[in-house]
Structure 1
């Protein structure tokens, strides 16, 4: 796709990158078949090809409109289109560039600005979010069912193993996960301990930057990435083997640090090192001896998050691990389609998100599994709201011994 960049973009890194991405697009439309919003709405502008045209127009200097902003907002950034694209178009990166340009040109209405500011104030800060969640849980009996179901019941964190092994890895704790589902990180630490790996603490580590970056506060997102790198760097210099992520949404972002900070002279090399060390917990376990685990066999429907299968291109890795460990996995129709969580999308686009969740729950429960397992806190939160069976992170299953 030929593009004539506007003068103000010709010498910018974002403009040059966007132009290079657009050159790979051949207008084939294969991407639309796998796009959740195109499947729901049937509008070309709510599919990847249409959104690419909208972004191209802005890159060429045409003024952005509120309508074009809405079509870009409706994108889940699930990146299923990248998996199906025969030309290797980096749609997710192009979308970030396009959204940022549109945000600069189209002021949002006051209530949209306020809601986004509230999300940015609350969600990326673990202690702040934990306090607000505790307050919301106190008010839970007074809430209507629709809001009550969005608040999972408190769960015990469990006991983390002491640091006792020569092998060491960092664990990305996350922003909302420690408060919403603390068992996940504990289970990951316990699983690593059984493999002879100790988790190294980084007390000042915070948000990975994904939320702010994808809400078009890209500078705020990059600053969060730099702070996380600073928090991790002493452990990196001391020789940790890996940075383990249990939330695939955070994992895909950390793996992109090298690209996102490559023009920062102070952080480019460090970011590249962090991205190289970042591994999903499934990647870690796939190279280890699993004989130390004797989990209870269960019949499971596994939901592979978009950030795992499309973002990190790890489709099938966790499924193979679970089968190897003796779990029975049910067949899930349209397993490549998003559940509708997509970070803050479930809050910003509740109608579309709800329709996607309804279809996903139906597919996951079609063969009557005992439980649903997933690999991302956002998907866990989205699915547990209406699922008829328990929803867990798959790593929790490994430390539940066979009866």
Structure 2
């Protein structure tokens, strides 16, 4: 029998699936998806070191070395103080909290506002919730990515959100994942935003303790005609945490989707963002900031697929790498043959603060239409020595001067975050890092 990369992990996942099969396959539609996901893993394995999409981020090797993937039924208590200190100060939101992959009603808010319906994925599966069955793996395609397949195989918890047509949710929905033990967590969020509806969703993953952990989270977001959805991804986990995020979005006519990804800490983080503009008049905005130190490794892979005419996308990712950290950016824009009158723009800019920090960046643009306005590009360099000298000549200490210049570098991404508590949260971390 042929052995694949990550074979030991796949063997353990297969055993866990068999042990929990009755619970995981209670919904027949989802059961079929899980079986296809298992088949994909068994037949293809996990990404190996030479796999093109993961060549700068050998997540398989890191997981084999640090995560056991054994079934863990241990219950760990978490206090209210533990939960609240991991939230964002001053942010008024509906908090939905998951502890070690299980929904915790004690630390969650009741979502009683008209126009929004929430259910934990586990309950939705048991109740044969129509939305769960309809969206589960519809956009993420577990047969196209091994880590999505891993998620579809074992994810039995997450958030099912339905925003009714013409509704505007009054405050953000904050999905909070807290892990307390050395284990792997698989969660799937299914979000359907109805026609002309508006909603903001924030996701944050944290680990309590120093033991290594792995979180694998998939978001499948459907944005209907005229709707406006915003999604924030805040990554500020421990130095021993491993995380992979897959966000898959489909947009209908005249809809707007905004993604804000802020990566601040973690041992190894991989963010996959895939947006399909499937109708005319769509707008997509992607903002990313990665501020890395130590040995943190963050890989951002984005895909924007323009499938129909008269659509717009704008992508801005900026990175600051310190110490021995490593950043990766791979942004792809596809403009299909029918997507005339497309406007698509992409920019990636990076600053390296040490000789040991590295970044690998690869902007890509593929156009099959002939009446478009598109641009893409990247820059990598160090702080402007003349600007630094100018500030220091006016009595500003070097650390403070560097912090001022880096704040200015990151300012346009931070401004795009819009929510003041999140802006303040990111600003405070930047300040504490750069003015050490």
Instruction: Confirm or deny a common fold (TM above 0.5).
Output: no
Which has the bigger relative contact order, CA under 8 A and spacing at least 6? 1
The structure that is helix-richer by fraction is: 1
TM-score, normalised by the number of residues in structure 1 = 0.30
TM-score, normalised by the number of residues in structure 2 = 0.28
